[in-house]
A and B are shown apart, each in its own frame.
Chain A
Amino acid sequence: MTFSSRKNTLRLLSFILILLVSVSYSSVGLTASVELKTEAPVVADISFEVATANLMAGNYSDREKAIKILLSVDDERVLPVFQRMLKSKLYYIKKTKQLVFIEKTDGGYKTTSILNNKELGLFEKNKLKKVKVNNKLRRLLRSYIARLGIKSTDVAVRKAAVKQLLKNINEETIAILQVLDKQETNSAIKELVAAGVSIWNLNSNDKTVQLAAIKALSKSLVPEVKVKLQEIIENTEDASIKKAAINSLKKIDSKISTFEFLENLVFGLSLGSVLLLIAVGLAITFGVMGVINMAHGELMMLGAYTTYVVQQMLPEHITTSIFISVPLAFLVAGAFGVAIERFVIRYLYGRPLETLLATFGISLILQQLVRSIFGPTNQAVQTPAFMSGSLEINSIFAITYNRLYIFIFAIVVLLLLMLILKKTKLGLQVRAVSQNRTMAKAMGVKSEWVDAMTFGLGSGIAGVAGVALSQLTNVGPNLGQGYIIDSFMVVVFGGVGNLLGTFVGAMSLGVFNKFLEPWSGAVLAKILVLIFIILFIQKRPRGLFPKKGRGVED
Chain B
Amino acid sequence: MTRQPFIVDFLQNDKGGKVFISILLVLMLVVPALNLLVPADSFFHIPTYTVTLLGKYLSYAMLAIALDLVWGYCGILSLGHAAFFALGGYAMGMYLMRQIGDRGVYGNAELPDFMVFLNWTELPWYWQGFDMFWFAMIMVVLVPGLLALVFGWLAFRARVTGVYLSIITQALTYALLLAFFMNELGFGGNNGLTDFKDILGYDLQADTTRASLFFLSALFLIITYFLCRFIITSKLGRVVVAIRDAEDRTRFIGYKVESFKLWIFVLSAMIAGVAGALFVPQVGIINPGEFSPLNSIELVVWVAIGGRATLYGAALGAVIVNYSKSYLTAAFPEIWLFALGGLFLLVTIFMPKGIIGLWNQMRLKLQEKKQLTTENKIE
Given the complex of chains A and B, what is the CA–CA distance between A539 and B345 in angstroms? 36
Scan residues 286-308 of chain B and give those whose CB is less than 8 A from a CB of chain A.
293, 297, 300-301, 304
A347 proximity list for chain B (CB < 8 A) = 349
B175 with A527: CB separation less than 8 A: yes
A344 with B171: CB separation less than 8 A: no
A331 on the B face (CB < 8 A)? no
A364 with B337: CB separation less than 8 A: yes
B343 with A361: CB separation less than 8 A: yes
A315 on the B face (CB < 8 A)? no
With A353-B162, A523-B181, A537-B160: A530-B174 Cβ-Cβ less than 8 Å: yes
B293 proximity list for chain A (CB < 8 A) = 485
With A363-B341, A538-B157: A352-B304 Cβ-Cβ less than 8 Å: no
A361 with B345: CB separation less than 8 A: yes
B300 proximity list for chain A (CB < 8 A) = 357
Scan residues 58-82 of chain B and give those whose CB is less than 8 A from a CB of chain A.
77
A533 on the B face (CB < 8 A)? yes
Scan residues 332-362 of chain B and give those whose CB is less than 8 A from a CB of chain A.
334, 337-338, 340-345, 347-349, 352
Interface of A is mostly: helix
Select one of A292, A360, A489 contacting B171, CB under 8 A. A489
With A357-B301, A530-B175, A534-B171: A362-B341 Cβ-Cβ less than 8 Å: yes
A356 on the B face (CB < 8 A)? yes
Interface size class of B (residues with CB under 8 A): 35 or more
Interface digits, B148-181 against A, CB 8 Å rule (1 contact, 0 not)? 0001001101111011101110111011001101
A492 proximity list for chain B (CB < 8 A) = 164, 167-168
A356 with B164: CB separation less than 8 A: no
A357 proximity list for chain B (CB < 8 A) = 297, 300-301, 304, 344, 347-348
Given the complex of chains A and B, what is the CA–CA distance between A351 and B347 in angstroms? 13
Closest A residue by C-beta to B79 = A356
With A353-B163, A357-B301, A538-B154: A523-B182 Cβ-Cβ less than 8 Å: yes
Size of the chain A interface, CB-CB below 8 angstroms: 40
Interface of B is mostly: helix
A369 proximity list for chain B (CB < 8 A) = 338
A91 on the B face (CB < 8 A)? no
Q: How far is the CB of B246 from chain A (nearest CB, A)?
A: 11
Given the complex of chains A and B, what is the CA–CA distance between A12 and B38 in angstroms? 103
B168 with A364: CB separation less than 8 A: no
B158 proximity list for chain A (CB < 8 A) = 537-539, 541
B164 proximity list for chain A (CB < 8 A) = 492, 537, 541
Given the complex of chains A and B, what is the CA–CA distance between A166 and B168 in angstroms? 51
Q: How far is the CB of A295 from chain B (nearest CB, A)?
A: 10
Which interface residue of B166, B341, B343 has the most chain A CB atoms within 10 A?
B341
With A353-B163, A356-B163, A534-B172: A526-B178 Cβ-Cβ less than 8 Å: yes
Given the complex of chains A and B, what is the CA–CA distance between A292 and B79 in angstroms? 13
Given the complex of chains A and B, what is the CA–CA distance between A534 and B157 in angstroms? 12
Q: How far is the CB of B344 from chain A (nearest CB, A)?
A: 2
Q: How far is the CB of A540 from chain B (nearest CB, A)?
A: 9
Scan residues 245-286 of chain B and give those whose CB is less than 8 A from a CB of chain A.
none
Select one of B166, B347, B352 contacting A356, CB under 8 A. B166
A537 proximity list for chain B (CB < 8 A) = 155, 158, 160, 164, 168
B341 with A365: CB separation less than 8 A: yes
A541 proximity list for chain B (CB < 8 A) = 158-160, 164
A531 with B345: CB separation less than 8 A: no
Closest A residue by C-beta to B334 = A372
Closest A residue by C-beta to B176 = A527
Scan residues 369-404 of chain A and give those whose CB is less than 8 A from a CB of chain B.
369, 371-372
Q: Which residues of A are in contact with B by a Cβ distance under 8 Å?
A: 292, 344, 347-348, 351-358, 360-365, 367-369, 371-372, 485, 488-489, 492, 523-524, 526-527, 530-531, 533-535, 537-539, 541
* Sampled A-B contacts (25; CB under 8 Å): A292-B166, A292-B167, A351-B348, A353-B163, A353-B166, A355-B348, A356-B163, A357-B297, A357-B300, A357-B304, A357-B344, A357-B348, A358-B349, A361-B342, A361-B343, A365-B338, A485-B170, A485-B174, A526-B175, A530-B171, A533-B168, A534-B154, A537-B164, A538-B154, A541-B158
Q: Lowest 8 CB-CB distances: which A-B pairs, in order?
A: A361-B344, A364-B341, A365-B341, A368-B337, A361-B341, A358-B348, A530-B175, A354-B348
Q: Which residues of B are in contact with A by a Cβ distance under 8 Å?
A: 77, 151, 154-155, 157-160, 162-164, 166-168, 170-172, 174-175, 178-179, 181-182, 293, 297, 300-301, 304, 334, 337-338, 340-345, 347-349, 352
